[in-house]
Amino acid sequence: MLEHLWNGWRSAYVTGSADSRPVATPGASVFTQILESGLSDEDAHIVHRGSWCFVIMNAFPYTSGHLMVLPYREVAELEDLAPDERSELWATVTDAVATLKSAYRPEGVNVGVNLGQAAGGSVSRHLHVHVVPRWVGDANFMTTVANTRTLPEALAESAAKVRAHWRGPNLDADV
C-alpha cells in the first residue's frame, strides 16, 4: 500500500464530537458525505463551486495541486450526466487545468476519468475527473523504493493556492 508522508489534514474533524457532525445520506459516496457534512469549503478543501459541479482537492494526491472536478449529483457514468452537468463539468476541467498552470507552473498536466471499479475508480458511484499537475521526476525513488509519496505542501496550503489563482468560469488567467 502506498503511504503519504504528512500529518493528517482532517484531525480536528476526526477527533471532534460525532454528535455535533451532521449525518450524511446513508450509503452516500464520500463526496456526497463531504457536501452534506456542513463543513465550510475551506475545511472540506472545496476550491470552486459552479451551478452543477464543484472542484475539491484530492485528500490523497499524487502531487501537490491534485484536483477533482465532479457533479454535485451522484452519477456513475458520463452518459448519465444531464446536458447542463456535462457542459459545466468539461468547462470546469478546462478552468482547473488553466488554474493549475497558473498556480504551479507544471511541466505537464494529467486529466483522467476512471469509469467503473475495474477501471480504477475508487469511488466509482460518483464520477470525478482528476486534474493533476506533473513535473519530470515527480515520481521519485521514495515512491518506488519506500512506497511513500512525498508532498512539499499541506493540503490546506494547496487549496489556498488554487483558490487564489482561480479566475473561472472559462478563465482569463495568464498561463
Fill in the DSSP letter of residue 24.
Answer: P
**DSSP H/E element including 44:** helix 41-44
Tell me, yes or no, if 130 is annotated catalytic: no
Taken in order 109, 114, 120, 126, the sign of the CA dihedral is: positive
C-alpha distance from residue 102 to each of 58, 88, 111 (Å): 19, 21, 16
Distance CA 152, CA 146 (A): 17
Contact in structure between 67 and 59 (CB atoms under 8 Å): no
Q: Which of 45, 48, 126, 128 is catalytic?
A: 128
- The catalytic site residues sit at 128
